[in-house]
Amino acid sequence: MTQIQALFHTFDSADVTVQLRPAAPRLVTVAEKEALLRQGLSYGMLLTPETRPSTVQMVAYHDALTRNGPRVATLIAALTAHLLDNISRPVLVSLARAGTPVGCAMTRFARRRGQGLPHHTLSIIRGSGIDQEALKRVQHVHPGATLIFVDGWTGKGSIADTLSSSLPAGVPPLLAVLSDPAGVASFAATHDDLLLPHAALNATISGLMSRTFVDAASERGGELHGVRTEEHLRPDDVTGEYLAALDALDTGENPPLDPGPRPVRPYDTVLALAAGLGITDPHLVKPGVGEATRVFLRRQPAGLLLRDAVHPDILHLKEMAEMADIPVTVHAELPYLAAALIDPRTGEAT
């Protein structure tokens, strides 16, 4: 088993063991990516180089940290305390990238209370599944432990489905998230659709790591999924700042886990609304404020659906939609704060 130690990232090694391999991905523009996706190429094999966070993104991040930060810290506390109290030998396995800051914040929360909570982060890609090699390495280090898979939020539940379908026998798909508007997580801090501060950014709040990808080596087996260090973004990195801010918001209490009523297939309503606008492929419908933000950052959006046009958690989406001349419609019945649509014709002529 080859041990890769050359990967550079800006997470503290005390907070996470990164089960990823530095690799060179196929780099494409967003337009090229959309065209290749229409031709059937896997999303997990393509990467668009990241640019510096825009002013809109940075304002959204700081506003979300100020506005939602105390609640996010409470959600982290409740979720972590629940797992420590109710799970035998828990080990956090965060899903890179959106889950990685959450897992780091959770293990730091436990450490402040004198409890060990091991944390590894690995790749999961829709269409490819979880990184089996990385999973083997985690199991080797923690034999007999209960693996808790950590993510930031849910949208339609695609990652939850991928987790369930790709885990080997004997490993239950125990998914823990902070925000679970899809109602699919095993452990949810809340079922509210909520803008987590790190949803506004990409690599610069995830240790300078790119989105994960597969290449020929990882497809052959025996090698970890790949990641690229976005070294050019080092001056903009706020990974440590974000985790320190969440640390400072920890009240020292262990609040009870109280996520509220679990939604039942809320994405059906979103898919119906999208179909009314001509989008019938569910893969092109991204519900949830976090997922919608991701669409505007790395896909070519065709429409934005909002439940409330003045909710503070969606103002950055409205601004990005206006800048890109993307139509915005308000639907009071939308179960999520927002949903983004991707045009099925995008990229065909590219």
CATH code, 281: 3.30.1330.30
The two structure tokens encoding residue 306: 């909002």
Mean pLDDT, consecutive 10-residue stretches, the chain (350 aa), reads: 67 98 82 69 72 97 98 98 98 98 98 97 92 97 98 96 96 98 98 98 97 82 92 97 98 97 97 95 96 92 97 98 97 98 60
Domain containing 322: what range?
267-342
Does the predicted model carry a pTM greater than 0.85? yes
273 and 158 within one domain: no
13, 64, 210, 242, 325 from 187: Cα distances, Å: 26, 23, 27, 23, 38
- Does any domain span residue 260? no
What's the CATH code of the domain at 224? Answer: 3.40.50
- Does any domain span residue 306? yes
Contact 21, 137 (CB under 8 A): no
What is the CA angle 258-260-261, rounded to 5?
140
**338-342 and 226-227 as β-strands: parallel, antiparallel, unpaired?**
unpaired
Q: How many domains does the chain have?
A: 2
- Does any domain span residue 350? no
Position 3 scores a pLDDT of: 45
Of 219, 248, 277, the residue that ends a domain is: 248
Position 39 scores a pLDDT of: 67
- How many of the other CB atoms lie within 10 Å of CB of 267? 25
The two structure tokens encoding residue 35: 């065209």
Contact 197, 69 (CB under 8 A): yes
Contact 288, 337 (CB under 8 A): yes
Beta partners for 153? 179
**Bond preceding residue 307 cis, omega within 30 of 0:** no
pLDDT single digits (tens) 174-190: 999 999 999 999 999 99
Position 348 scores a pLDDT of: 35
70 and 200 within one domain: yes
State the residue for tokens 């790709």. Answer: 166
Position 36 scores a pLDDT of: 65
Position 44 scores a pLDDT of: 64
Q: At 151, is the secondary structure helix, strand, or coil?
A: strand
**46-47 and 26-27 as β-strands: parallel, antiparallel, unpaired?**
parallel
Q: How far is CA 18 from the centre of its chain?
A: 16
- Does any domain span residue 336? yes
